Structure 1
């Protein structure tokens, strides 16, 4: 399915670069290779899964998704390109730029209260009422397959620079990207070990991997890393991660902001907080990583301008 998704994505998704900076290597104490999915179409890896799912649809009809912003944009852009209606259920506190971008791709946005309402219930109801096909953000095989194409690229690109193994750290919410990359690398480059990265207090995946059973977050608000704050790992993604992934890692919001500043100053890329946690883990938690090389997936760059400006003004001088 991942190989098939790669075929459908060819000519539509970008093959994002694998970047390196000696300044980041010095901080991390090893070579750091950054897979810059912030440069993907719509500004995040989510375009891969969105296009994979929408391009495989048969017959007429629109699509529905629930998302804090990146899956929303990926689905909206794919639906627009395929001439399909898109309705997106988004939290009321989603960053304004993500809401605006989703609407710019022609999608209808329906807001909900993240703390008191279930996006899953709202999405299922709207899909039934309006005859829409629900495309879940991570617990959907076609979406996982699309995200897995990132792993195929990592396998090729690391081989080109002579890296034959090590940890691959992935920003993780529900686990679609992580499980897709893990499945791809299991086949294409099995010497790599995939690790998850999450913000502190929203480390449901790390706790689930440790416990061997799915754990939930107590709250769904209170982190700047909105893109990867989810209730719990997916029912489809968790068994894959439990089988293939190493121990999860967590970072503070401050470390995510520092990583954003370093990515801008040293790699010249714009990263959102949730997309920076894997880089933060590599830079500031090196004692938990094995090997001379580490690959990190910078998963998105759709950051609110004010948050980005604060990150640069606060931590830019130290970069």
Structure 2
């Protein structure tokens, strides 16, 4: 099996590394205070500090919207959104101006031609199908129904659909504007339209990240980290499969992943307050700051 499945084995290795890194990072995400949700705990601490410092209290009440996403989750989402946009823009510029990037794209593409076999191609096609239209519809339906039964919330299906539809529309628009030619390694690529960024990669990144966010609600910290790692592994695996099938350049799929995760982050910010607790820290903080400000002092410490 070894040599005949080399591209698929490389895909598994890269996807496993990516998933493991996300899992490790997720494992270090702050865990809840015993008996208290992390959002509530953070909000109470911020509220007490705001009551002690009038300038902070004024900032909370006058400059921030209690309904908006706040806290560490917002910071991470903003970093992902901005970082993804920068990566997409940088690659879009370099693919037309940098000969080294073009050379790397061609070298990686040629490697898969030299090592690909019928058996490995079949395996790669199964992976790439995880971001096909059929798979996307099935995943959204199954997750929406299962999560509605587990934790009913009408915004979950709206969130999932918005993530996928928005990503598809935007990626299609970018493809038409940049109009990059597909690789010539696979004759089928010529029938698939513009190449940059990879639509399958963007869909996998956005969809499975959104699914992970929904499914991870009210799960233990380690389980949430595992779910996030699995989502990242699937997205990276799909991206690798597109390169190894000869239908995308390496820079296409990197841009696709960056855009997909950036778009997911934007949607998570927009919908977070609907079915997550992003807005809780600030609401709790402003409520506490207001009540303690009216009383003129912080509450006495209970023995």
TM norm structure 2 = 0.28
Which has the higher Rg, Structure 1 or Structure 2?
A: 2
TM norm structure 1 = 0.27
Larger RCO: Structure 1 or Structure 2 (Cα < 8 Å, ≥ 6 residues apart)?
A: 2
